[in-house]
Amino acid sequence: MTRISRNLTSRGIAMKVGDLPTVNRKWSFHLPAVVVGLAMVVVASFTVMPFYIDAFASPSHTASDTASGLNLQGLNGDPYGVHTAIRVLTFNGSQYSLAIDLANHEIDGGLETPSSMCRSTVGCVAAVNGDYYDVTRNGQPDPGDEVGGIIQNCVLLHTPEIAHQQADLDGQQVGEGLDWSVSVDINGVTVPITAVNQELPMKYPNVNLPLTGNLLFTTPFDLRTPSAAGRLNYEFIQVNNTTSPTTSTTTSPTTSTTTSPTTIPIISPTASPTTINTSTELELVAQTSNAVRVRAGHVDISAPTGSSLASLQVGDTVTMTTTSTDGCNNIGGHPILLNDGAVVPISAADTYMAQKYARTVIGWTASGETVIMIVAGTDDKSGATGHQLVGLLRSLHVVTALDLDGGDSTALYVNGRIYYHAGQGERPVSTGLLVVQNP
């Protein structure tokens, strides 16, 4: 197992891996991931103050709107050894739903506070920080690099950069990874895509881990496509509407001898080219070794020289197919705490979960109620451990739950108020979870 940790200094955060020397415990936390040969280092700086601050003064504070089904309340964590303030937001699916938002509505598009994401979204009543993210040094072009997979409104926007747990928000399920596949048919030859909307190479201090294979970039990617020796960028334009598959369901094995249906969403004919469970026709319009931005209506593929794409001429067409069984809104986190009522064991090597930190959790009860919980804390000093989180969640009758980014990222925005764990202000993040009123 590779252990990734973050050591926050006055200038930002630095990730260290494996058996490196112990970092300053005052500012560090550990995020483990099962990855072969992966190391990442991250550095960032944040000082953004919210327009309203709630200091968690009373654990019994309640802000309920029972008529609308939205309920915010405090929780006493003393019976579970948690002596910092806890906020719990609950709602039912008939009046509200969860939505994923991206900083500035782009992949690798920088950083934005959850409250800002909510205020710019019609119907949003609450927001919380989302998945973990990596950041480059101050002044570098990529200040917010998403870590896990993202499917938003049935569109595959980002594939996981490390082994990462995921949550299907619509299906209220969690899984050990994101199920996805993208391939391009070139004259009867199937060419797999290695990653979607990931930068190349992944360069962080002391780390240079280039992605290999065929890399797909779509319009929401905010950076330029890669420019590297031995690679070419193929620019395509979408020449027909995205089409739905011929079947509307698939079957997957269960623990018994029977099979259970997995619903494939019915997609609009004007959907994005990476809409899951669809195919689209692309026409090659240019080929270059330069770094380029993906233009509207275009799809760019960065591929090694000599790949099957090298046989294409400008004007040739290919068919791209995107599949996934993980639902239309899926976001990453770490680790899974509860899965359909079962407590998921936390590795003893997972020091981030063994120590106390501020926490953000998304979960669901057996009746389908959504539960968002944040725990106040100071890195490695106060807050909740992973085991304490499980106790708190079970007291709320939560049966399925995923831990999201925590520490200084922990923040909750509800009906114009910001609740967060410490006094330095609401931190900008790369992704957020929004609670939006259903139409």
Q: What is the pLDDT of residue 140?
A: 60
My answer on whether 278 and 334 are in the same domain is: no
Task: Name the band, by pLDDT with cuts 50, 70 and 90, for residue 423.
Answer: low
Least confident range of 160-174, 256-270, 403-417: 256-270
- Does residue 2 fall inside a structural domain? no
Residue 119 has pLDDT above 60, yes or no: yes
My answer on whether 337 and 279 are in the same domain is: no
Give the number of domains in the chain.
Answer: 2
- Does residue 370 fall inside a structural domain? yes
pLDDT tens-place string over residues 230-257: 899 999 999 876 565 544 333 333 333 3
- Does residue 112 fall inside a structural domain? yes
pLDDT tens-place string over residues 62-88: 454 544 689 999 999 999 999 999 999
My answer on whether 313 and 344 are in the same domain is: no
Alpha-carbon radius of gyration of the chain: 22
Residues of the chain above pLDDT 90, percent:
62
Residues 6+ apart with CB under 8 A from 171: 327
pLDDT tens-place string over residues 315-340: 999 999 999 999 999 999 999 999 99
Q: What is the pLDDT of residue 129?
A: 97
Determine the structural domain holding residue 267 and report its residue range.
181-251+260-323
Residues of the chain above pLDDT 70, percent:
72
Q: What is the pLDDT of residue 60?
A: 42
Provide the b/e sequence for 371-409 (b: ≥16 CB within 10 Å): bbbbbbbbbbebbbbbebbbbbbbebebbbbbbbbbbbb
Instruction: List the one residue out of 425, 415, 433, 422 whose CA is nearest residue 361.
Output: 433
Q: Which of 277, 294, 323 is the last residue of a domain?
A: 323
My answer on whether 170 and 186 are in the same domain is: no
Task: Name the band, by pLDDT with cuts 50, 70 and 90, for residue 267.
Answer: very low
CA distances from 272 to 18, 50, 101, 167, 254 (A): 40, 35, 17, 22, 32
My answer on whether 301 and 224 are in the same domain is: yes
- Does residue 394 fall inside a structural domain? yes
3 state SS of 118: helix
Residue 194 has pLDDT above 80, yes or no: yes
Residue 59 has pLDDT above 80, yes or no: no
On average, the pLDDT of the chain sits at: 79
Residue 105 has pLDDT above 80, yes or no: yes
My answer on whether 220 and 315 are in the same domain is: yes
My answer on whether 270 and 357 are in the same domain is: no
CA distance 235 to 71: 48
Element (H, E) at 133: strand 133-134
CA distance 258 to 253: 7
My answer on whether 186 and 297 are in the same domain is: yes
The mean per-residue pLDDT over the stretch 343-368 comes to 95
My answer on whether 273 and 199 are in the same domain is: yes
Q: What is the pLDDT of residue 270?
A: 55
- Does residue 411 fall inside a structural domain? yes
Task: Name the band, by pLDDT with cuts 50, 70 and 90, for residue 359.
Answer: very high
Element (H, E) at 157: strand 155-158
My answer on whether 103 and 225 are in the same domain is: no
My answer on whether 119 and 82 are in the same domain is: yes
- Does residue 13 fall inside a structural domain? no
Share in percent of the chain as helix, strand, coil (round to 5) = 10, 40, 50
- Does residue 40 fall inside a structural domain? no
The mean per-residue pLDDT over the stretch 49-73 comes to 54
- Does residue 340 fall inside a structural domain? yes
My answer on whether 114 and 243 are in the same domain is: no
Q: What is the pLDDT of residue 209?
A: 59
